[in-house]
Amino acid sequence: MNRPGKPAKKYSQAARLHDIIRLIESRHGIAIDELAEESGVNRRTIHRDLNAISDAGYPLTAEWAGDRKLYRFITGFKDVPPVSFSLQELLTLYFLRSQLDILQGTPFHADLAAIFRKINSVLPPRYAAHLERISRIALPLLQGRRDYSRAADLLEGLRRALLFQQQVSLLYKTPASSKAELYRVDPYSFIFYKGGLYLLGYAHNRRAVRTFALERISDISVEKERFELPDGYDPEQHFRGAFGIVDEEPLSIRLRFAPAVAHAVADRIWHGTQRITAAQDGSVELAFTAGGRMEIISWILSYGSHAELLEPPGLRAEIAATAARMAAVYSAAGGSRAEQSL
């Protein structure tokens, strides 16, 4: 009991956070009202405390039980042992850090910066400075990369939904549609492809797994409902039959590359089904079976006259028609559109 005239001892935030963590750990789920009553503060303060606990790295999640929102930690998170790295492993981490510049301005890039601040804080200054210098030996040239800083809020919501396996509602607009469509999605994985970021998930209104380009998502809402990943879920399996990221009916492709580019083709893996045959004149034939018609056409045309599609006949005719239209655009007789406008 406090003596008369002496103010009551203040309950520090650090002590309150410690007690809140203890309460969450000791119960299967606890509501904000219970935490407020136990801690002697209002709901707004508890909200701030829960945000501070989450920001500190505790895997806090919330689920609805009837009309009550219960907070808990992911089971077994305290059993994760500390991780140590050799100097060579740290060098590799610093080397790879620059490869993720595509995520500048997003929560992922901010977290990556925080991770390296933590690493630097425990390293001798000489080592930390040396690793920072080494990180500059990798320079990614990301031509045509998308600016995902404008989607930072969307990524924050998607990241949380992926981490805690919560359904999302998203507005998505395809190039062929005049307006965005609402999708209810179980988000499974983020996919990186040619400098682009995609979401792979189960679309309930399509009753199928679909791929969503992030730049075409205009809004997202994280829902209360949780989901479970399907047994044996394998994102690589989903794209195994695609040439790129479009999962379509597979085509049997066979094409010839001229000697001038044969070396650049033969030493790469273009698809898991590929077969490469070298010819005596220095050219190579490449055959594979994959879906994604427009991706395949675009890739072949990028080699210009150095690539000739041999099969299938229908796709060959389509490329020939495209090449004819390109020739018309560049024909000397017609002149350029810029010249015609002068």
* Distance, CA of 223 to CA of 233 (rounded, Å): 22
Cβ(49)–Cβ(16) below 8 Å: yes
Hey, what CATH topology would domain 13-78 get? Arc Repressor Mutant, subunit A (1.10.10)
* Distance, CA of 85 to CA of 118 (rounded, Å): 13
Cβ(192)–Cβ(238) below 8 Å: no
**What does the pLDDT read at residue 76?**
61
- Size of the chain in residues: 342
Is pLDDT larger for residue 23 or for residue 313? 313
Averaged over 219-248, what is the pLDDT? 90
Encode pLDDT of 139-188 as tens digits: 777 777 788 888 888 999 998 899 889 999 999 998 878 889 999 999 99
Is residue 341 over pLDDT 70?
no
Q: What is the mean pLDDT of the chain?
A: 85
Count H helices, E strands: the chain? 12, 11
pTM higher than 0.75: no
Is residue 75 over pLDDT 80?
no
Q: Which architecture characterizes domain 148-234 according to CATH?
A: Roll (2.30)
Each domain of the chain, given as residue ranges in start order, spans: 13-78, 87-137, 148-234, 251-330
Encode pLDDT of 305-333 as tens digits: 999 999 999 999 999 999 999 999 888 65
Is pLDDT larger for residue 208 or for residue 21? 208
Averaged over 270-296, what is the pLDDT? 95
* Distance, CA of 48 to CA of 38 (rounded, Å): 16
Is residue 198 over pLDDT 60?
yes
Is pLDDT larger for residue 288 or for residue 121? 288
Averaged over 80-84, what is the pLDDT? 69
Averaged over 7-25, what is the pLDDT? 72
Encode pLDDT of 201-216 as tens digits: 999 999 999 999 999 9
* Helix, strand, coil percentages for the chain (3-state, nearest 5): 45, 25, 30
Is residue 121 over pLDDT 90?
no
Percentage with pLDDT > 70 across the chain: 91
